[in-house]
């Protein structure tokens, strides 16, 4: 890593609009780094610029060096690794295919998290606990809001006919009620 003094850094990068970059940055951490560098390049000393964003001058020094040695991409940093997944990529792809196929084959309802947990336990000998199965499904792109389930004995043609004739039947019933009220029969 090449070392650069604060004065050299300011001189070399005074043309960069760090404030504009900071304002357009979605990541809070990168925004904070850019804002501190902006203040440094606009007359604040390292201690003052770091204090504005609630950090130490050594923190700012580290990020100026990273910017100097790698540009904007070095300010992004690395994503924390997190826990290693329980399933391999191949197993995840196989699971996605299986779930989609099983869902398509169902006559009604949808697969629940508990059913998927049992499936994974049986097929891959891996146990997901609590809501972790939903995190897995979200990561795999299988989290969705489902429509109302379809009853296995439902008749699509009868439903279509019902929808097409519903308004006419309601109008007929209303007109019958009005005529009954006018004639005085069937008063409730």
pLDDT tens figures, 8-34: 999 999 899 999 999 999 899 999 999
Cβ neighbours for 31, distance < 8 A, ≥ 6 positions apart: 22, 23, 25
57-70 and 6-13 helices, crossing angle to 10°: 50
User: Of 53, 1, 55, whose CA–CA distance to 31 is shortest?
Assistant: 53
What's the CA gap between 9 and 41, in Å, rounded?
8
In the chain, how many H helices and how many E strands? 10, 0
What CA–CA distances, in Å, run from 143 to 23, 94, 114, 125, 136?
32, 16, 14, 23, 9
Residue 124 has pLDDT above 90, yes or no: yes
- pTM above 0.85? no
What local confidence, expressed as pLDDT, does residue 106 receive? 76
Check residue 13 and report its DSSP letter: H
Q: In this model, does residue 40 exceed pLDDT 90?
A: yes
The CA distance from 145 to 179, in Å, is: 46
Q: Which residues contact 137 (CB under 8 A, 6 or more apart)?
A: 113, 116, 143
Segments making up each domain of the chain, as ranges: 6-76, 89-139
- Categorize the per-residue pLDDT at 1 as very low, low, confident or very high, splitting at 50, 70 and 90: confident
Burial class (CB in 10 A: 0-12, 13-18, 19+), 95: buried
User: In this predicted model, what pLDDT tens digit does every residue of 61-107 receive, in sequence order?
Assistant: 999 999 999 898 888 877 777 777 789 999 999 999 998 888 877 76
> Could you give the CA distance from residue 144 to residue 139 in angstroms, rounded to a whole number?
12
Report how far residue 137's alpha carbon sits from residue 58's, in angstroms, rounded to the nearest whole number: 41
Phi, psi of 8 (to 5 degrees): -65, -40
Percent of the chain with pLDDT over 70: 91
């Amino acid at each position: 890593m090449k070392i650069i003094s604060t004065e050299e850094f300011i001189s070399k990068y005074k043309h960069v609009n760090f404030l504009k970059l900071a304002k357009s940055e979605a990541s809070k951490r990168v925004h904070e780094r850019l804002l501190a560098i902006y203040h440094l390049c606009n007359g604040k000393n390292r201690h003052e610029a770091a204090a504005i964003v609630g950090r130490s001058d050594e923190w700012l020094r580290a990020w100026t060096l990273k910017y100097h040695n790698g540009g904007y991409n070095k300010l992004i940093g690395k994503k924390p690794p997190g826990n290693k997944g329980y399933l391999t990529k191949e197993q995840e792809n196989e699971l996605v295919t299986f779930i989609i196929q099983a869902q398509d084959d169902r006559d009604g309802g949808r697969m629940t998290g508990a059913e998927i947990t049992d499936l994974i336990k049986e097929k891959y000998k891996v146990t997901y606990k609590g809501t972790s199965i939903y995190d897995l499904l979200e990561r795999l792109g299988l989290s969705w809001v489902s429509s109302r389930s379809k009853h296995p004995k439902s008749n699509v043609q009868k439903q279509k006919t019902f929808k097409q004739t519903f308004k006419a039947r309601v109008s007929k019933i209303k007109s019958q009620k009005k005529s009954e009220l006018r004639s005085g029969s069937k008063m409730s």
